[in-house]
Structure 1
């Protein structure tokens, strides 16, 4: 006993030292599985049964394994544990470090590893087999793993899934002890090849059995066999049809077997499968499918079938030529592909044909076409373009291609920024638009870029520009100006601050008239006009300018003038009134008076005044205004008033007037004394009188204190105002005229010492003066004393 204990200790120590060095396994590998098989058994008392400890490595390499298996000792006893072929399946030597049974505690232990190699096993297998005997008449024993440890060749621990088992005491369940299906794949198309399959089964004991077919979703299809008690049924045939004789669809089908031994619950077994394949293989993922941008594409197609594909049957033809295609295994078939060796031409149509057979002889013969599209999508209707006046425009462009546009590839950039654009489907493509969110500035130049792929992956990369012009053009009207014109045709001249798309004018509120540049306004009516000139630039900004002017083509006329009296005072004003506003300078330059006389011009409205100094007495003057006098519009004077401009001398305007004469005795002499003078004045010229001057003796205050002038039809008198102002003059109450060739009586009372003409009669300037009587201040009477006087305006 002691020797055995020491040996066991050595064994366990060795196993411990081996497994203690195991490291954690590599992450990401598929876990291994250790399981009890079968997972459930029902065995009567006194009988033995065997279970297998099975391992599936998953994606791992396994070089060592150990486990402990616990069972219920009140129900079972283990009788043996034998090494399986799992770790030595490839002939490699293994060492069993641990193999023990403990029926006292109900534990079985096992440990084994490969030696002499640095690689593990990768195929499933049985690690060990354990035989039990049933000791109880009833009960259940769970067969549960503990301390399971699997490792790879580098002593890395492998992640492991554990599947325990169960054993129940009782009459065993019925089971299928053998089964076979003659054709696991059938093609019930009536061609005599694999049209049906033969199913054979044998049971572990007599049972009431049924055999039926279910589809992949376990829906009932048809019942093939039924017997109340059978252990080895005769062969059963299924022709791939429903009970009503209709061929079932292609796909996977199950043989569902039920077994009833009358003791245990009904047992089902549907592990046997049959594939029905009555149609040719399927094709999918044809590439290129329709249009391509590459000129030397990879051509490929998937060929699949529920019964799989015969690899050697696959043939690919391109443009009628059998090509050396490659085949890659996929589920239920192959991906067949061929790399084009010579480039195709743009627009060329290529035909591809694929031929393949499935496992039951159904033939696929499929052809498809594709064409080479090496042209990128087209762009059109870019908006806006050129120059615009909207600071927040809607930006849009159409992207089209006869083979379609990939909407996910569309990208719109504004000023190099990718914007979130809207796309609207149109014929053969999309309208791409973006509503500007923030205003652009005047004179900004905006670049828009559109990128899009067609279905052949050709790329459109196009950019265009537009410019912001938010200010209207500035118009300067050079002609006409704000004045009056003497013609009905006027040049319309202007300048504009920038190039414009349209120019037009409106005259007096009428409709706009388009012009191409400077022009002439013709047939203008008389009177005031309002001109509006408009200019629109390329951005549709409109500027304007306006001017008012007048048309006057009627020549001016003189409608009034003065003086017009026959006798005019030497102190007078010449006035000429015109029927309209005149060019003052031209009128003044056209004015003349003969004999020449100095004066100054002034104007009141349309009336010109020539304010004179003193004119010569008793002189005829001619006043003229030449026809070159012009109105404000430049029309020359119509002096004769006939409405026709005839020029000089016909249209010169003139008239004459004569100045009044002067009566002046001239100076007198001494002796002198004051007194009363009476006599007559006979005039040889008409004079205008306002005052009378008395010549005084030098150093005296000689003057007249009273005067009266009269004849049969006329009378006037005046009284001296005393020594104030010009007291040598005596002023009459009003101005009056004394006519030539008329005789007037005078009475003059003098004061102080006036000058005296000592004669009874004297020829003087303006006529003759006589003395009828002079009575001096002392009362003496004389007839040859004449007062020295001057009658003047």
Structure 2
């Protein structure tokens, strides 16, 4: 969106909850759009890209997030993902540089920086010494320009000598218009040795897949002069010679399959087809031009943020990084019903492809495919299991409210921890002051003894808690409250005193004290 985004939801029963705009990258709610309080029917909302403080939000991926609950307490969440783009495209020429004296072919390299540009254009005008600068004339219209650098070759040799001004601008998908950027180029008078020179295509992928494996270099000589065609690296290192001709006027054609003089496929990168006609020592002189080409035999990168096998819940998104030197598009598909899957895109970077909210529990596969301008393709299948079910956690012994003593071997805690996609369990103890310590933990499901609580602590009230987590991040806890008493009762017999004589009837006095006294026994034995 650039100005306003619209959203509607059908409420089929009385519900309560909220509709928020959420920033996907950190799940932060930026704007509260509506409070639902028993509403029915269609709820239509508009958002102008402002947060709750009335400030314009930053560019990025956002979602309309519906979180409601019905009269029975059932909760429902749904989100619709969209992109906020309030930034105009920025274009710049990396070639040609202002002041260039043009050859027959002028490499034009235009960088377009924007989330999703849809159109870029280059125009030119010529300076006339009598009439001044002429009108702007369209030179090239680039639809769906790539993010990064767009390369094109201007056949300047077809134009009259003089001073020329080039300008470029871009428009993005939501209508943001960038500023014009300018360079000046001089087309000089030149000997007409090379009337025409071009390479097709300018981007090749020599990987044997039959798509853009080689290029063709065409040269038209206007005079019978020597001709050589070589391939060089961008730093002028020789790669291979394509042709060396004695030269007569006419058309020459050479092929290059992206290999060096030994037949080995060259590395990805920029290369020049160096065309040279004539001889510097001859009356007609020498004419040379460079035709920039690129080699890209590397398929696009598809990197899953979080791995290829995942366990997910409604709060999770499938985040994927796409990367390539010459990106074209990516596609996502699934045989499952995934309401919030984005089927295709041109933005190659880390991004959310889908939200797992509302997808049925169970295993699902998503097929990702990325293509570049050189015809290279990559495919990766993501297998994810949607799991909204909490694990089972239960302490069966000791019982709730039990009065315990440690004894010599501690207190055995028994219970079970279980889940279809189990991860970990932890048994911990918390004292009355809120201090928590781990008793024992495990990574396997258990049904029986969990471990021994040594209870080498002070008497008092304690909470035993079993925490269980599954691979999707769902968790469950069960806790019991127990009392620890490791202190024996205090007993004292005051009368009769040790060694006293007593009659057949006498009074015995003393005291028995304990916090949790059960019973006491007074016994007399003769000797």
TM over 0.5: no
Q: Larger RCO: Structure 1 or Structure 2 (Cα < 8 Å, ≥ 6 residues apart)?
A: 2
Q: In which range does the TM-score fall when normalised by the shorter chain?
A: 0.3 to 0.5
State the structure with more CA Rg. Answer: 1
Q: State the TM-score, normalizing by the size of structure 2.
A: 0.44
